[in-house]
């Protein structure tokens, strides 16, 4: 259990217009920080006014990308109370990321306590409008000033929060996706399953290429053969082909998404067959030609459920469901967001109350 000290701000910021939040633009009044020192462990947990960090320019995070992060959301319910969605799953995933990245981790209990504490402190920032939430960004950085490549003796774990609307400017309207067959996101034995900033930095070249071609996002193929579908980078990806729902297996190169996991549980509960076998992109394109590619959608904390209307692979384009949101995609969106925003009962036991 953390002993958190509070230094609250005397100058609260003006709240942004809830109709125009965008994603990751505004930040709340406070942030959570805890230090980690080799030989001592975690110490000095505190909630302080949101402020810039002062770091030595030789801090290892700047040179060797020694950092990891998470993403989860707090939701305001119709009775004005606030809840989280499966925060312990983010805590567990961060532990797995940090093992791979040689970074220290908080226990699941301490991670969840810290998230609840910062959300409760800034509870007035959890927005009220439909489809809005408070995005929570925990991250760990290596702060020891040192230019040799080795593990760091000092780290900070920080949580910042941002009131957000939809991740994509298209909202729940279908996105256009470009299948990347030149660059690679992840290889077996690499960091593909982790939430480390380097994965995202390395993906930007493809995102720029996709944008230049008129597509919103990149669908990554496996790094060895460039044959099997993996993930979109900001989302996991699902394909409904002839009644069966496919998503890439989490075998080291795909991020084990909390929304992905929740969707699989719901889809199975509703009686569909879910396949986590590797799915060749050629099978997806063939299914499209045969009229069997029924739905494609992405899942993620930021993106929620995002229908895909168009997939481009080499010179072929698959148009999905006439650019309309599919039946299963809509049902998943309604059920998941219904549970998250407390509009339908949480019979899966997924939510955690922060405050009334
Ligand atoms: C999330 O869905 O929380 C993510 O971290 C994806 C992206 C914003 C990096």
**Contact call for residues 161 and 222 (beta carbons, < 8 A):** no
pLDDT, mean of residues 95-119:
98
Coarse DSSP helix, strand, coil percentages of the chain, rounded to the nearest 5 percent: 25, 30, 45
In this predicted structure, the answer to whether residue 323 has a pLDDT above a threshold of 90 is no
In this predicted structure, the answer to whether residue 173 has a pLDDT above a threshold of 90 is no
Supply the pLDDT for residue 167.
83
Is the whole-model pTM more than 0.85?
Answer: yes
CA distance 254 to 20: 32
Supply the pLDDT for residue 168.
74
Counting residues of the chain whose pLDDT is more than 70, the rounded percentage is 99
For ligand 1, is residue 247 a contact (CB within 6 Å)?
no
pLDDT, mean of residues 192-206:
97
For ligand 1, is residue 305 a contact (CB within 6 Å)?
no
**Contact call for residues 88 and 112 (beta carbons, < 8 A):** yes
For residue 70, how far is its CA from the centre of ligand 1 (angstroms)?
A: 8
Among 73, 134, 301, name the best residue to mutate to test ligand 1's pocket (greatest count of ligand atoms within 8 A of Cβ).
301
Name the band, by pLDDT with cuts 50, 70 and 90, for residue 314.
very high
Q: What are phi and psi of 148, to 5 degrees?
A: -75, 150
Supply the pLDDT for residue 172.
76
How many C-beta atoms surround the C-beta of residue 293 within 10 A?
22
In this predicted structure, the answer to whether residue 278 has a pLDDT above a threshold of 80 is yes
Name the band, by pLDDT with cuts 50, 70 and 90, for residue 164.
very high
pLDDT, mean of residues 296-304:
94
Structural domains for the chain: 5-165 (3.30.470.10), 175-340 (3.20.10.10)
Name the band, by pLDDT with cuts 50, 70 and 90, for residue 344.
very high
311: helix, strand or coil: strand
Of 281, 354, 277, the C-alpha closest to 316 is 281
For ligand 1, is residue 98 a contact (CB within 6 Å)?
no
For residue 71, how far is its CA from the centre of ligand 1 (angstroms)?
A: 6
Average pLDDT, the chain: 96
**Ligand 1 atom with the shortest distance to the CA of 135:** 3
Question: Helices 87-101 and 108-121 meet at what angle, rounded to 10?
Answer: 120
Supply the pLDDT for residue 308.
95
pLDDT, mean of residues 91-113:
98
In this predicted structure, the answer to whether residue 17 has a pLDDT above a threshold of 80 is yes
For ligand 1, is residue 302 a contact (CB within 6 Å)?
yes
Supply the pLDDT for residue 332.
97
In this predicted structure, the answer to whether residue 56 has a pLDDT above a threshold of 90 is yes
For residue 290, how far is its CA from the centre of ligand 1 (angstroms)?
A: 34
Supply the pLDDT for residue 262.
98
Give the residues across from 145 on adjacent strands: 59
In this predicted structure, the answer to whether residue 169 has a pLDDT above a threshold of 80 is no
Counting residues of the chain whose pLDDT is more than 90, the rounded percentage is 96
pLDDT, mean of residues 83-110:
98
pLDDT tens sequence across 234-246: 899 999 999 999 9
For ligand 1, is residue 21 a contact (CB within 6 Å)?
no
């Amino acid at each position: 259990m953390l002993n958190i000290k509070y230094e609250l701000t005397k100058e609260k910021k003006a709240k942004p217009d809830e109709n125009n939040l965008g994603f990751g633009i505004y930040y709340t009044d406070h942030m959570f920080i805890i230090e980690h020192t080799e030989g001592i462990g975690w110490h000095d947990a505190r909630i302080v006014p949101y402020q810039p960090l002062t770091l030595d320019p030789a801090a290892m995070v700047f040179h060797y990308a020694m950092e990891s992060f998470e993403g989860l959301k707090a939701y305001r319910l119709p009775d004005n109370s606030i809840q989280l969605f499966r925060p312990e799953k983010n805590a567990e995933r961060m532990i797995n990321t940090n093992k791979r990245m040689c970074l220290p981790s908080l226990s699941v209990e301490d991670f969840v306590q810290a998230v609840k504490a910062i959300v409760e402190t800034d509870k007035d920032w959890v927005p009220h409008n439909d489809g809005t939430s408070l995005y929570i960004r925990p991250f760990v950085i290596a702060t020891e000033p040192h230019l040799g490549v080795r593990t760091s003796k000092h780290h900070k774990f920080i949580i910042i929060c941002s009131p957000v609307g939809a991740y994509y400017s298209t909202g729940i309207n279908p996105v256009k996706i470009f299948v990347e067959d030149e660059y690679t996101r992840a290889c077996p034995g690499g960091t593909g399953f982790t939430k480390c900033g380097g994965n995202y930095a390395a993906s930007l070249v493809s995102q720029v290429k996709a944008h230049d071609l008129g597509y919103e996002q990149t669908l990554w193929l496996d790094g060895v053969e460039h044959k099997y579908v993996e993930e979109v980078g900001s989302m996991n990806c699902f394909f409904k082909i002839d009644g069966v729902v496919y998503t890439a297996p989490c075998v080291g190169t795909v991020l084990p998404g909390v929304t992905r996991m929740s969707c699989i549980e719901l889809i199975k509960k509703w009686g569909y067959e879910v396949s986590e076998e590797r799915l060749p992109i050629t099978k997806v394109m063939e299914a499209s030609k045969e009229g069997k590619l029924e739905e494609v959608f992405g899942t993620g904390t930021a993106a929620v459920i995002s229908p895909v209307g168009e997939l481009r692979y080499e010179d072929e384009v698959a148009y999905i469901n006439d650019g309309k949101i599919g039946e299963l995609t809509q049902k998943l969106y309604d059920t998941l967001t219904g549970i998250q925003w407390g509009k339908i009962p949480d019979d899966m036991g997924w939510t955690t109350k922060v405050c009334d």
